[in-house]
């Protein structure tokens, strides 16, 4: 039903009222104008279709309309109001997820595409909010009944007060409300965009995969620039899966690094395997341990209680030169090692040193067992027999034994132990043999 009374303004700004049916016009406010106004507003409120409604406390409901606004349904009155005075409901509202509500509002706006998933989520959330404090709510029920009715009336008062003003003003109000809504919507949209950005990382990954899968297809050069290579791709629709050119470039760079490193590492791998296959049959390639020669030199030297590291260096100059110790160890490391080992030579006699050595191997027995390899080779070696006579043969035997316990790989830590070097080559080989015999019997 159209409103009978309309409010207009005269050119000088004063208001007058005009009845469209009786074609009457007055400067005084007609008595039935306000009622009409209210009726009209109510209709307006109800005209906006409710997209969904959520239960709050005390029978009141939060309805989300299709125009994106929120209205509250109080009790059984069935009228929609813009505000709610009920404290409990407000509490629930403040606790509920504002983000999700906003999303609901947004989905409510799109007619027909209502987001039921979000709706369910919000409903569940509200249920958990309302249910646990049920007892408290019941206790409060009697108390809260009174204020709720009070608030109802106050809300109605508010509405009456709000809409009993002239049409123009109320229009302004509606406009401002709309503005607020649109602002909040803009905000929610922004937030949603952000969410999309973060939650869309999975799709981003997919896009990245699709995007990078193009590179080998178009046989891009990993040694080139994105600026040049992108020209090859530009006609492909997959090229536009990734929106920003900077992101595309980043992906390309990543792909290039991977590509370059791959080719390098495969080269390295090939080289290593070649080296391995070359070195294995050749016993000359057996690598001595870190301080192998140095300990050998010390064992040859004459050691008095007052001997220092530099004395040994002065005494065994030729040996130092012969074994090219300078190449593998710098002066400081040499001195540090010699002074450490001198302690053992000065304080302990030969048998004690053998004990120290065996103890070390015992303590490392676990890892030695793990590192044991070339077992068949071990069996071939003259473990039970006497030592070979030539010192060179003894040394090779020792190196082979060391190789068998994988001293350059798994048992690298042994190499750095000082106790490992407290014996000369010959006694060391004997002790080593003894030790390995145990393992061999286990194997």
Partner 1 sequence: MPRIKTKRTKAAPEGFDKIQPTLADFDLRLKEVHSEQGSKLAAKANEGTWKILQLTHERSRYIFDLFYKRKAISKELYEWLLREKYADKMLIAKWKKRGYEKLCCLRCIQSSESSSEGHTCICRVPRSVLEKNSKDGVVTFTRCTHCGCSGCASSD
Q: Which residues bind partner 1 (CB under 8 A)?
A: 221-225, 227-228, 253, 256-257, 260-261, 264
Of residues 120 and 253, the one with the C-beta less far from partner 1:
253
Of residues 226 and 421, the one with the C-beta less far from partner 1:
226
Of residues 153 and 225, the one with the C-beta less far from partner 1:
225
Instruction: Say if residue 274 is exposed, middle or buried (CB neighbours under 10 Å; 0-12, 13-18, 19+).
Output: exposed
Helix (H) or strand (E) holding 6: strand 5-9
Of residues 261 and 352, the one with the C-beta less far from partner 1:
261
Of residues 25 and 262, the one with the C-beta less far from partner 1:
262
What is the Cα–Cα distance from 354 to 430, expressed in whole angstroms?
10
Query: How far is residue 82 CA from its own chain's centroid?
Result: 43
DSSP state of 220: -
- 3 state SS of 428: helix
CA 145-149-152 angle, to 5 degrees, is: 140
Of residues 260 and 370, the one with the C-beta less far from partner 1:
260
Minimal distance in Å, beta carbon 210 to partner 1? 22
CA 436-437-440 angle, to 5 degrees, is: 85
Minimal distance in Å, beta carbon 223 to partner 1? 5
Minimal distance in Å, beta carbon 395 to partner 1? 38
Minimal distance in Å, beta carbon 315 to partner 1? 42
Instruction: Say if residue 74 is exposed, middle or buried (CB neighbours under 10 Å; 0-12, 13-18, 19+).
Output: buried
Residues 80/71, Cβ–Cβ less than 8 Å: yes
Minimal distance in Å, beta carbon 241 to partner 1? 23
Minimal distance in Å, beta carbon 248 to partner 1? 15
Minimal distance in Å, beta carbon 253 to partner 1? 6
Where do we find the tokens 């008595």? 31
Of residues 60 and 229, the one with the C-beta less far from partner 1:
229
Of residues 84 and 256, the one with the C-beta less far from partner 1:
256
List phi, psi (to 5°) of 61: -130, 150
Residues 436/403, Cβ–Cβ less than 8 Å: no
Minimal distance in Å, beta carbon 272 to partner 1? 18
Give one DSSP letter per residue of 106-163, joined into a string. HHHHSTT---HHHHHHHHHHHHHHHSTTHHHHHHHHHHHHHHHHHHHHHHHHHHHHHH
Minimal distance in Å, beta carbon 245 to partner 1? 14
What is the Cα–Cα distance from 291 to 168, expressed in whole angstroms?
99
Of residues 229 and 289, the one with the C-beta less far from partner 1:
229
What is the Cα–Cα distance from 148 to 23, expressed in whole angstroms?
44
């Amino acid at each position: 039903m159209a409103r009978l009374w309309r409010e207009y303004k005269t050119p000088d700004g004063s208001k007058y009222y005009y009845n469209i049916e009786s074609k009457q016009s007055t400067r005084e406010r007609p008595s039935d104008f306000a009622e009409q106004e209210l009726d009209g507003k109510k209709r307006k409120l109800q005209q906006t279709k409710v997209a969904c409604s959520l239960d709050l406390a005390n029978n009141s409901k939060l309805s989300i309309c299709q125009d994106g606004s929120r209205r509250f349904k109080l009790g059984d009155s069935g009228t929609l109001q813009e505000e709610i005075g009920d404290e409990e409901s407000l509490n629930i509202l403040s606790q509920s997820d504002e983000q999700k509500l906003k999303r609901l509002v947004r989905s409510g706006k799109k007619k027909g595409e209502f987001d039921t998933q979000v709706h369910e989520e919000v409903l569940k959330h509200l249920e958990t909010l309302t249910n646990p404090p049920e007892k408290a709510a019941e206790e409060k029920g009697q108390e809260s009944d009174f204020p709720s009715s009070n608030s109802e009336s106050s809300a109605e008062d508010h509405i009456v007060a709000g809409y009993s003003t002239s049409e123009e003003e109320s229009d302004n109000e509606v406009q401002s409300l709309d503005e607020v809504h649109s602002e909040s919507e803009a905000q929610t949209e922004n937030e949603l965009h952000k969410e999309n950005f973060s939650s869309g990382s999975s799709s981003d990954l997919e896009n990245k995969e699709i995007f990078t899968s193009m590179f080998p297809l178009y046989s891009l050069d990993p040694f080139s620039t994105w600026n040049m290579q992108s020209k090859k791709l530009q006609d492909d629709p997959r090229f536009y899966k990734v929106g920003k050119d900077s992101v595309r470039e980043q992906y390309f760079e990543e792909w290039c690094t991977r590509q370059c490193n791959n080719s390098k590492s495969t080269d390295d791998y090939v080289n290593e395997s070649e080296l391995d296959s070359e070195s294995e049959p050749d016993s000359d390639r057996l690598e001595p341990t870190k301080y192998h020669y140095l300990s050998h030199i010390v064992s040859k030297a004459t050691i008095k209680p007052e001997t220092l590291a530099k004395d040994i260096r002065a005494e065994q100059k030729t040996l130092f030169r012969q074994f090219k110790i300078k190449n593998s160890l710098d002066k400081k490391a040499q001195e540090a090692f010699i002074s450490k080992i001198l302690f053992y030579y000065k304080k302990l006699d030969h048998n004690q040193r053998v004990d120290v050595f065996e103890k070390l191997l015992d303590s490392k027995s676990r890892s030695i067992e793990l590192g044991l390899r070339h077992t068949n080779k071990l069996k071939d070696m003259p473990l039970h027999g006497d030592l070979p006579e030539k010192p060179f043969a003894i040394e090779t035997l020792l190196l082979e034994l060391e190789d068998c316990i994988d001293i350059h790989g798994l048992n690298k830590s042994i190499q750095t132990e000082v106790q490992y070097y407290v014996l000369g080559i010959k006694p060391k080989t004997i002790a080593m043999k003894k030790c390995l015999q145990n393992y061999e019997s286990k194997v």
